[in-house]
Amino acid sequence: MRRLFFADGGRQPSDPSLKKLRNRLLYINIISLAIVVVLSMLIVYFATFTRVQNEIDERLREIPPGVAENIRLWHGIQDATNLLGQDDGVVSVDGGVIVGGGVNFPVDYDKSFVANVLPDGQITVFSLIEMSDWEYFGSVQMALAGVHARKSLFAEDKMQGGPLLIRGETWNYKVVTAISEGSDSTEYQTSVVFLNTAEEHARLRGLALSLLVIGLSAVAVILFISYFVANRAMAPVQASMDRQRRFVADASHELKTPLAVISMNAEAAKGSCDADEIAGNLANIEAETARMDGLVRNLLSLAKEEETKPVATSFDLSACAEDETGRVEAILFEKGIDFVFQKPAAPIIVKSDPKKLKTAIAVLLENAVKYTPAGGRVEVSVVSASGKTHPQIIVENTGAYLSPEDLSRIFDRFYRADKSHNSNTGGHGIGLAIAKETVQGLGGQIEAASKPLVGGGAVNKFVISL
């Protein structure tokens, strides 16, 4: 079974440059999403506002202008008769209420009134709402003044109504001009229809408040999620930078020792006249140079494996593994190490890069040759896929026990276990890192395990799963 490992998404990057990059991503993300949220809220609000305004306009159109006939007169010419006090002749019909004398009250009679401005300046008000004459007169004056102001500012303005405040409540009005043509002259009568829309505007204010709360909450949630996602996005980059710094430090440490040895032996050779001593110094220089050459070659191989893309072809996995084992059988025989190679009878056809896979197998075999003592055992097995198990190549060898701490870091660059993996054996701790990079580049997984033996030592197992 393959396992996926994710970096800790909640941890902040420690590198200052990554923090700046994280913050920049946060700013861009939060500004972009905030714009989307605000636009969405505005669209919802204006859609609702338009619908409510259309409903108000429709209700204003249903209230007939010019229905006032001597109900309430301004300028004291004639006072209104309180129709609410009339108990006779009240009949309910569709579209309104008819009160004695055939006067038609609109359905919204308790929330509306109509004012007619006659040519001689008289204002006739049709209303069943308890307001003073001054309030009626002021409402008409504000409505007419608003229409006149808009026309003076915008010549093409066709708006004949709008909202205004009357007694602390919002009302909408509509101005209608009627033309009456007689035989001798043409008369104009202006009617202003008022409708109390306090409830509608209260709903709009409630909607605006709700959208504001929802918008702020959404932005806060988005900010939190963006912060988490940005940290998670930076985690692999931070890990890569940490590995790079550790790699440079470890490489410098590995090169420091042979360089110091070379320098010391060179100084000793320069100040010595003894041929044997000089020969020994030169031998030490040659050995350390060879060691440095091997380290540099491994580093170049590791860099090459990271940069080179695999070329996938179909091949027999058993034959691929057998080719590599044939290269080390003679060495194992010379060291007195038993060797076993197991493969299934049928070919195992896989699609991958055989050259890169051989590189990983060679590293494991070299590791087994290097750390298996004389009289030990090395076994290579090729296992076909079954169920959820992928095709595998298993390399087992006897040797020193690897602790859980060693197993957790054994594929790290320059890591060597204390007991068996040391520079005296010629290793630099690069080989297994190369194998890991190679296998992961092929889309596979490599794992290590160590099982202690009763008489001492252990069986170390390395598994490549494709």
In the 8-state DSSP scheme, what is residue 64?
A: -
Cβ partners under 8 Å of residue 334, min gap 6: none
155: tokens are 């010549």
Most confident of 155-159, 195-199, 231-235: 195-199
pLDDT tens for 351-393 read: 998 888 988 898 899 888 888 998 899 999 999 888 778 899 9
**pLDDT higher than threshold 90 for residue 77:** no
Residues 238 and 328 in one domain: no
Please identify which residue in the block is written with the tokens 């010549």: 155
Residue 388 to residues 2, 278, 280, 466: CA-CA distances in angstroms? 9, 63, 58, 12
State residue 98's pLDDT score: 40
Nearest to 191 by CA among 154, 135, 147, 131: 147
In a domain, 3, yes or no: yes
Residues 199 and 318 in one domain: no
Residues 201 and 329 in one domain: no
Please identify which residue in the block is written with the tokens 């008819």: 98
State residue 72's pLDDT score: 38
Residues 219 and 314 in one domain: no
In a domain, 293, yes or no: no
Nearest to 294 by CA among 302, 282, 284: 302
State residue 179's pLDDT score: 63
Q: What is the C-alpha to C-alpha distance for residues 358 and 287, in angstroms, rounded to an integer?
A: 28
Domain boundary among 198, 216, 242: 242
Q: Is 365 exposed, middle or buried (0-12, 13-18, 19+ CB in 10 A)?
A: buried
Domain boundary among 222, 242, 262: 242
Cβ partners under 8 Å of residue 409, min gap 6: 415
Q: What is the C-alpha to C-alpha distance for residues 6 and 13, in angstroms, rounded to an integer?
A: 15
Interval 97-120 mean pLDDT: 62
In a domain, 26, yes or no: yes
In a domain, 40, yes or no: yes
Instruction: Say how many domains are in the chain.
Output: 2
Residues 20 and 117 in one domain: yes
Return the bridge partners of 48, or none.
none
In a domain, 274, yes or no: no
φ and ψ at residue 75, rounded to 5 degrees: 65, 15
CA angle 210, 213, 217 (to 5 degrees): 140
Q: At what angle do helices 431-441 and 354-371 cross, to 10 degrees?
A: 150
Task: Work out whether strand 103-106 and strand 96-99 pair parallel, antiparallel, or are unpaired.
Answer: antiparallel
pTM of the model: 0.49
In a domain, 280, yes or no: no
Domain boundary among 207, 242, 277: 242
Interval 425-436 mean pLDDT: 72
251: tokens are 């490489």
- 435-438 long-range contacts, CB within 8 A, separation 24+: 435/359, 435/360, 435/363, 435/364, 435/411, 435/464, 436/411, 437/302, 437/305, 437/306, 438/305, 438/356, 438/357, 438/359, 438/360, 438/363
In a domain, 304, yes or no: no
Q: How confident is the model at residue 70 (pLDDT cuts 50, 70, 90)?
A: very low
284: tokens are 């030490």
What CATH number does residue 406 fall under?
Answer: 3.30.565.10
Interval 448-455 mean pLDDT: 89
Map residue 62 onto helix, strand or coil. helix
Out of 4-8, 209-213, 270-274, which region has the weakest mean confidence (pLDDT)?
A: 4-8
Q: What is the C-alpha to C-alpha distance for residues 316 and 96, in angstroms, rounded to an integer?
A: 93
Residues 350 and 231 in one domain: no
Mean pLDDT of the residues in the chain: 76
Residues 205 and 328 in one domain: no
Q: What is the C-alpha to C-alpha distance for residues 162 and 220, in angstroms, rounded to an integer?
A: 37
pLDDT tens for 296-325 read: 776 776 666 666 777 889 999 999 999 888
Q: What is the C-alpha to C-alpha distance for residues 297 and 422, in angstroms, rounded to an integer?
A: 18
State residue 254's pLDDT score: 67
Residues 236 and 315 in one domain: no
pLDDT tens for 14-61 read: 677 777 777 787 788 778 888 888 888 899 999 999 999 888 888 887
In a domain, 215, yes or no: yes
Q: What is the C-alpha to C-alpha distance for residues 445 and 437, in angstroms, rounded to an integer?
A: 10
Q: What is the C-alpha to C-alpha distance for residues 435 and 432, in angstroms, rounded to an integer?
A: 5
Handedness of CA 157, 159, 161, 163 (dihedral sign): negative
Q: In what order do the strands lie in the sheet with 392-399?
A: 338-342, 377-383, 392-399, 458-465, 445-452
| Full residue range of the structural domain in which residue 215 is found | 1-83+96-242
- Alpha helices by DSSP H, 420-464: 431-441
Q: How confident is the model at residue 206 (pLDDT cuts 50, 70, 90)?
A: very high
Q: How confident is the model at residue 128 (pLDDT cuts 50, 70, 90)?
A: confident
State residue 425's pLDDT score: 52
Nearest to 196 by CA among 134, 127, 132: 127
Q: At what angle do helices 275-307 and 198-270 cross, to 10 degrees?
A: 160
